[in-house]
Structures are given as structure tokens and as C-alpha cells.
Structure 1
Amino acid sequence: MNTKLLCSLPLFLAATNAFAVADVPIQSVKLTKKMEKQFTQVGKKISSSGCSFNVLPFKDERFNKSTISWAVNATNVDAWLVDLHKSLIKPAISEAANELVIEVSPSLNRLYTYNESMNINGMSVVTADYSIQGKAFKTSHHRGFYSKTNWANGDSEFVESAERATHEMVLSFLKKLPEVCEQAKSSSTL
């Protein structure tokens, strides 16, 4: 066995940037028609719930704010979260004034991707704190998962998986709002 070849392999990999981590800006991708329909339906349920929701923009509470995979650092995450708030949450929340106003503070806890077999899986996790008239009412956790076939192991595929997992998470988060409204109405402590 040629030991010189084996010893030079790490140097070759380092010299060719085989371990390089790419900085890729995360940007909003267009919703699928199925997701658009689901967001429209959940928006109707929220507006008929009888509560007003003041949903604050997402806070990025992740420990590692850049890396979303073994080879990709996501940049522009804060601007992307603001865009998510404007494009997905604001349109789903009714502007109608109701007697019961619930303030929602969502915090992004996890955003990552990983390879599994021939797929790239994305995971997004948020914690939502609900308060009424400044008093803490409840907390819920929501997770979004998305899996896509790994076509070329490209950086954009990792970013797209993270983005689409976040769409699933936001949908789960919004679906919870009418239930929170019902719990707030029936709560005798408020």
C-alpha cells in the first residue's frame, strides 16, 4: 500500500477546498399551489375565530445562527424572517378589531438540514409565547419538516429544504391560533 498517497490525501482535500463551507443567502421561495391554498384556508379560520392577534416578527434564538448544514452557512436570515412575517403571517391575520387581543411572540429555535439516504431533509422549529394584556397565557412549539430528493447536492438544495420546512412550520403555527383563541375565551383566569 502506498503510504505517501494516503498521507497526502488530507493535504489534497484541503488544497482543493473539499471541506469548504459555502455562504448562501437564504431567500423566500414561491409557495406551491397546495401551500397557498392551505394558508388561505387557515387565514379564514383565524379571521372567524373571534380574536385579534398581534403576531410579532420572529426572533432568531438559534445557538448557531449561520450554519444550516455541514456545507452551507445561511446568510441574510434576519431579512428573510422579516419577509416571512410580511408575506406569510400578515396576510393570514385579520385586521378586524375584536375584544380579545392575543399577542404572539415567536422565536426560531432551530433551522437546519441534513442528508438521509438520497434526500435532503429540512427542519425548522419555533416556540410561540402567547400573552393577553401583558400576562403570559401559554406557550406552544411548532416544527416544520420538508424532504426533497438530493439531485446534485447543491447549496441551493439545502437552502430550499430549510425554506420549505419553515413554510410547514409557519402553517402549523398559524393553525394553532384559533385553538389558542378558544382556550383564551374559556379561561377564567383572564
Structure 2
Amino acid sequence: EWENVIAAMRYLYNATGSADVVLYGIGCGVTTAISTWEHLPEAYSIDNENTSPAVADPVTEAIPNDALSRLAFRRDAIKGFIFDSPLPESDEYIRFTVRERNFFLHSITQYTVPYAIRLTAGLVKNINVKQMVTDLPVPLLIIQQETYGDLDAPLTLAVSEARLKETHGMTDIFTSAATEPYSSYADDAERYLDIVGNYLDKLVYSIE
């Protein structure tokens, strides 16, 4: 899935001359956004310092490292993140869905289904979302709920609490009163859009 995000960034670059984006992930989309950050090169290698955008390789389903290195943009094109409903580990989203929908033998399959889905998405390991979000060196907006179905505050608030301990100055938090899974927007759309708009305004001002 992260390949699709990079492909979209490349399309944006070819159309506008800039790949600058704010990545917005809801639920599993948080993992995809983080994976995109991790896969993008931090800087140009010596051999590619003068690489022209015209020779950047197209992003395909299986991206070799040399294709990534020839992209016309780098990790710093990601100016910020908006994470709606982040959970401490990437597998938590799938485990929750398996339990919520009462899949067959869900007490067992809640641990096997995430592994299968990760493989199809090109992710080998269960990502430590909490640690990676804590380490992101860019402005971040976290939209969270205290409960998501059978998940409660120790899990749903863990990412924001860890982030605030390390990078308080680059972090905005909005805790919704919603209780249904991923329903912060549906619960109060006007407030949600205000929060997102304020974050983006502040981000644009800081970049300028």
C-alpha cells in the first residue's frame, strides 16, 4: 500500500513540480503513512545527486531500492501527518476487526489474519506504531477517541501519550467524544474539519 502513496506523490511531482504533501491516515492508513515515510530515502546518494526528474523510475507494485533512490523527491517532501485513530501496533487494527465482526474462531484468527494481511500489503513485520510516531520529526495531528468498541484508553491513547513525551511542540491532539470505531468525523464533522484546518494553517505558516 505504501507503494501507492509514493506513486501518488510521484504523479503530484510530475504535474506540479513539487511532491510536498501532508499524509492523512485513518486506522490502518496510519500504518501505510508511516511505511511510506520509512521507505522513502532520506537523501540523495552520491551517484544520484544530479539525477533529473525525467529519469525517475515509475513506482510499481514491487519497488526495488534503486528505483526508490532515483525518485526526484525524498522523505522531506512529507511535511506533516494527520493520524485518525492510531493504535500502538499495526496488527491491532486487524485484530479489532476480526473480533468486532465475530469471525470464525476469532480468538485464534485475530492473531493469524493480521499476518496474512501484512504479507499481501507488502509488510513483513508488525509495525510498532507508537515508537515510530514518537520518532517522527515533523508536525503531527492525532485525532483519537477514548474508546473504539472493545478497545479502551490504555490502547487508544497510548500513541498520543508517547508522542507528547518526546515532541510536544510539534504535536496537536484532538480527543473526540465518539465511541463507535473511526467515527470522530461522523460524530462532529464541523469540529473535526476545524481541527484539521487549524493544523494545516499552522503547518503552512511554519513552512513559509
TM-score (norm 1): 0.24
Higher strand share: 1
TM-score (norm 2): 0.23
Larger Rg: 1
